[in-house]
Amino acid sequence: MYDESVVERWSENVVWQFFSGMEYYEPRLPCDATQIGRFRRVLGEAGVEQLLKSTIEAAVAMKAVKKTEFERVIVDTTVQEKAVAFPTDSRLLEVAREKIARLAKRAGLKLRQSYEREGRELRRKAGGYAHAKQTRRLGRTVRRQRTILGALLRDVQRKMAHLDEKTRAALQVWIERAQRIHAQRKLDKNKLYALHAPEVECISKGKSRQRYEFGVKASLVITHHQGLAVGARSFPGNPFDGHTLAAQLEQTSTLLQDIGVAPKIAVVDLGYRGVDADVAPVQLIHRGKIKRLTQLQRRWLRRRQAIEPAIGHAKHDHGLQRCWLKGSEGDALHTVLCAAGYNLRWLLRAIARLGIAAVFLRLQFLAALFAGERTAGAKSPVSVAPTCSKP
């Protein structure tokens, strides 16, 4: 759905076609939507990081940002939610039952009973009981859903022995996920929150309006003065914020190595305290050290909140709010691509701000960006890219 909307918008948007190098408007799809996904997988995380690096180098070449500004950065984490529905027990049990019954029928298994009609009725009852806060009736309904899922799983496992090895292996993957859903309880750890996306994690960020978010933890780094994104990556496994800082600063240093500068000061919140030794020689500044900070460092600390609107724009304007790509690899690619999109808009604002030299600077920016894409394509194992890779 995500890639389909991109190619459709390209066929309707004159600005996108001009940015792609088209001389005349053409009301057609640039390519099949599946080519974008294949090209993205060929690039990999290193390839999309090269795109982010190109935007940073373009900002330096345009003299929109000074090299010394990269020495002081702001780091924070957020949650990149996955495209999954809210994981209630009743819904997960019914989705697992429906999936196993459909796959068993496709494999040619004759089930004793699929429980299709009863499953739909139980799902409807569970929704009504939950809305009316009738917890006892809801509990009985969920127990019955768990019972019929267990019966269906046992029936499929008994009859799948005569299937060929390839079909049995494909079916076994979904049976194992359904067994996890059947066995998990409210207070268990490492629960499965989506049948089609086992990498989804439950992350609590302390928000009053939304206690839990389901996805992966993502980190963003911006320059302290002007807010250019100089690092972005995902961290599966829901690690503590402080444990992500060393890896995040390492990525930022890699992106800035051709510029000849590296971060020396990181302004962070209290979630990163206690990791000074892990990130040395980078100096950490947070309000837990307020009594030991100089007046200049306190001024730097007051600007830490500048990363909050940057995260907000990355989420609502550049797609970081919800990830539609598959698996942990999709989470990693999506995080970096959203940061690259954030930088593209930052560069366009910088061009408008610089005024009379806008045309010349825009040409410099495009030349640097396309040179970075050629470098990324040369490093990839596939040399032929689809015509729609630029939008």
Q: Read off the pLDDT of residues 102-122 as tens digits, 9 standing for 90 and up.
A: 999 999 999 999 999 999 999
Contact 28, 351 (CB under 8 A): no
Contact 178, 99 (CB under 8 A): yes
DSSP three-state, residue 321: coil
Pairing of strands 229-235, 265-267: unpaired
How many angstroms separate the CA atoms of 34 and 24, rounded? 25
Q: Which helix (H) or strand (E) holds 214?
A: strand 212-223
Q: Which of these, 236, 277, 276, 221, lies nearest to 73 by C-alpha position?
A: 221
φ/ψ (deg, to 5) at 292? -100, -5
Neighbours of 131 (CB within 10 A): 9
Neighbours of 228 (CB within 10 A): 24
How many angstroms separate the CA atoms of 319 and 341, rounded? 9
Neighbours of 387 (CB within 10 A): 10
Q: What is the pLDDT of residue 357?
A: 55
Residue ranges of the chain with pLDDT lower than 70?
Answer: 1, 355-391
How many angstroms separate the CA atoms of 132 and 122, rounded? 15
Domains in the chain: boundaries: 45-84+205-379, 89-183
Q: What is the pLDDT of residue 21?
A: 86
Q: Which helix (H) or strand (E) holds 350?
A: helix 327-354
Q: Which of these, 213, 243, 202, 222, lies nearest to 339 by C-alpha position?
A: 222
What does each C-alpha distance from 140 to 130, 143, 244, 341, 362 come to in angstroms?
12, 5, 43, 49, 64
Q: Locate all alpha helices (DSSP H) within 256-326, ordered by sequence.
A: 276-279, 295-302, 307-316
Q: Which of these, 335, 364, 265, 350, lies nearest to 57 by C-alpha position?
A: 364
